[in-house]
A and B are shown apart, each in its own frame.
Chain A
Amino acid sequence: EIEVTQSPATLSVSLGERATLSCRTSQSVGRNLAWYQQKPGQAPRLLIYGASARATGIPARFSGSGSGTEFTLTISSLQSEDFAVYYCHQYIVRPTWTFGLGTKVEIK
């Protein structure tokens, strides 16, 4: 099973600042990585797939990069609605999809 490690566990950021979230996989997944946003009491929402493609309706301030085992989600200028938990998800290997434990982005 491919392990997915996210860092940091919590990221404190001020409104308008840039947030950089990291995700590492235990073996190469190519570009088969997605990012999801989850707000309290809500379902996860797809942000990024294919490591860098934004899902429909996702603002341009969200960007993804990386390949192989190292990936990054960047939120260029944090808005109040962006405070949430972010999960990365590798999907190269079927049937064992795996998620990271999440990074909580909180207000500094």
Chain B
Amino acid sequence: EVQLVESGGGLVQPGRSLRLSCTASGFIFGDFEMTWVRQAPGRGLEWAGFIRSKLNGGTTEYAASLKGRFTISRDDSNNIAYLQMNSLKTEDTAVYYCARIYPGLGSSGWFDFWGQGTLVTVSS
């Protein structure tokens, strides 16, 4: 059974940093690209960024609004994806989900499994 479990959320002051983890099980983690999606309170889903598999270079891409502050990395030996968030702003307050990208043929892939999310609250 595919499982994704996020951790690391909490209350943080503006300008500080936080690192979220997404621990995967039930599939060959290294074979899949992983993504982070966030959801501000009462709002819709916002794609944040993704990381390619090592086979595809292990590189990352980010939403334009987050580029430069957020960094995604992966540890395939421990089946973990990370989201490092720096210079946090109050508008970064959201539930952060990790999801697995299913590689659809000829497309960028859809998100077939999601974690339960971890809440990040940025407030002084």
Q: Which residues of A contact B (CB under 8 A)?
A: 30, 32, 34, 36, 42-46, 49-50, 55, 87, 89, 91-102
Chain A residues in 8 Å Cβ range of B117: 43
Cβ contacts B108-124/A at 8 Å (1 or 0 each): 11111111110000000
* A interface SS class: loop
In angstroms, Cα B110 to Cα A30, docked, is 14
| Residue B50 lies at the interface, judged by CB distance under 8 Å to chain A | yes
In angstroms, Cα B109 to Cα A46, docked, is 12
Contact for B44 among A34, A43, A87, CB less than 8 A: A87
Chain A residues in 8 Å Cβ range of B49: 95
On whether the beta carbons of B45 and A99 are closer than 8 Å, the reply is yes
| Residue B102 lies at the interface, judged by CB distance under 8 Å to chain A | yes
Chain B residues in 8 Å Cβ range of A46: 110-114
Contact for A97 among B47, B112, B115, B116, CB less than 8 A: B47
Interface size on B, residues (CB 8 A): 25
For residue A93, give the distance in angstroms from its CB to the closest CB of chain B: 6
On whether the beta carbons of A55 and B112 are closer than 8 Å, the reply is yes
On whether the beta carbons of A49 and B102 are closer than 8 Å, the reply is yes
Contact for B114 among A32, A44, A95, A99, CB less than 8 A: A44
Contact for B108 among A55, A95, A101, A102, CB less than 8 A: A95
Given A44-B37, A49-B104, A87-B45, 15 other A-B residues pairs in contact with their CB atoms under 8 A: A32-B104, A36-B111, A43-B114, A43-B117, A44-B97, A44-B114, A46-B112, A49-B112, A91-B104, A91-B107, A91-B108, A94-B61, A95-B61, A97-B108, A102-B44
Contact for B110 among A43, A45, A49, A100, CB less than 8 A: A49
Within 8 A of A (CB), among B91-114: 97, 102, 104, 107-114
